[in-house]
Amino acid sequence: MRSSVPWTCSGGIFDWDRALYRLDELNAKAEDPNLWNNSGAAQKLMRERTQLANAVEGTRKLDRELDDAITLSEMAEEEKDEATLEEARRALADVYERVKAQELESLLSGEADGNDCYLEIHAGQGGTEAQDWAEMMARMYTRWAEKKGYKVEYLEESAGEGGGIKSVTFRIAGVNAYGWLKTESGVHRLVRISPFDSNARRHTSFSSVWVYPVIDDSIVIEIDEKDCRIDTYRASGAGGQHVNKTDSAVRITHNPTNIVVQCQNERSQHQNRAKAWEMLRARLYERELERREAIAAQTEAAKTEIGWGHQIRSYVLQPYQLVKDLRTDFETSDTQGVLDGDLDKFMAASLASRIKTGGDVLMP
């Protein structure tokens, strides 16, 4: 049985026969002993091979599960076994939901959607209350990434005064990491009874999220070092293995754009400097993507503006339980599940909305 489910590779939709041919081609190239003479090209090839192999196997697995569910349903109908028939219905519903998710993922067609990404969280005004919310969000996205099987690498953290964090930066590595997370950029609002208020009053806190892609060697971003200010400082954070005891942390400010990046997690100033330059190139690339998107958005009145001061999602814990995305109106009362990383449905709704309104169209 041939599934009609589209599969993805680097964010696009491809013909099934072409996919199998390309996978065979990549497997053959992977056997070439000279492949690793060019480590950059080798890593790119192996990444495509892994992504394609996973997509093909995922489609085959859905085919098998669909066949099993249909067979189970037919047997249950013949024997008039309602319990087994209900089991088959649940299996079919599960396959259907995963087919929809795979179809959506196949629409991640932006030029950087398949890449790893950086995710920054910054506490808004409000002192310890806002800093605690920023730390809760860091945990939420870490949990989400772990459920996806993505690798989370800590890069920088600024500890809060009295609790929580002022800011944190992660690198999240995995297939389509940027494609999934890109719609999370914006302001996130929390309403709850403050654990820091002795009078148990309800407080509203804000934190911002910024997501931008890791760029590879195929994307050239030129930076004039004369346009940058480089500062070194002593790393700060929660302590432990992440914090160096010397002035090894590096902050780079790009003067023409006022973009600031910083890294403190590596063992030496040299390593932190290299990572910070990589982050700056990624930020400038994301800025260019935003410029192109803004041009496309001029003809799309329904396009949602994303940025500080433009709240995208509310997390209400008191006086009722509700998480609601203000761009798509998708909502759930399972607030604890969301804070534990169950974000896929919110991301799916946002991605579908962007694709529908043309928000992912990139223009030169």
Q: DSSP letter string over 27-79?
A: HHHHT-TTGGGSHHHHHHHHHHHHHHHHHHHHHHHHHHHHHHHHHHHHHHHHH
Domains along the chain?
A: 8-105 (1.20.58.410), 117-357 (3.30.70.1660)
The whole-number pLDDT of residue 214 equals: 86
Spatial CB neighbours of 295, under 8 Å, sequence gap ≥ 6: 363
Q: Quickly state the pLDDT bin for 348 (edges 50, 70, 90).
A: confident
Of 117, 209, 207, 120, nearest to 157 (Cα)?
120
Q: Quickly state the pLDDT bin for 305 (edges 50, 70, 90).
A: very low
Q: With pLDDT > 70 as the criterion, what percentage of the chain qualifies?
A: 82
Instruction: Give the tens place of pLDDT for each residue, 40-57.
Output: 788 778 878 887 888 888
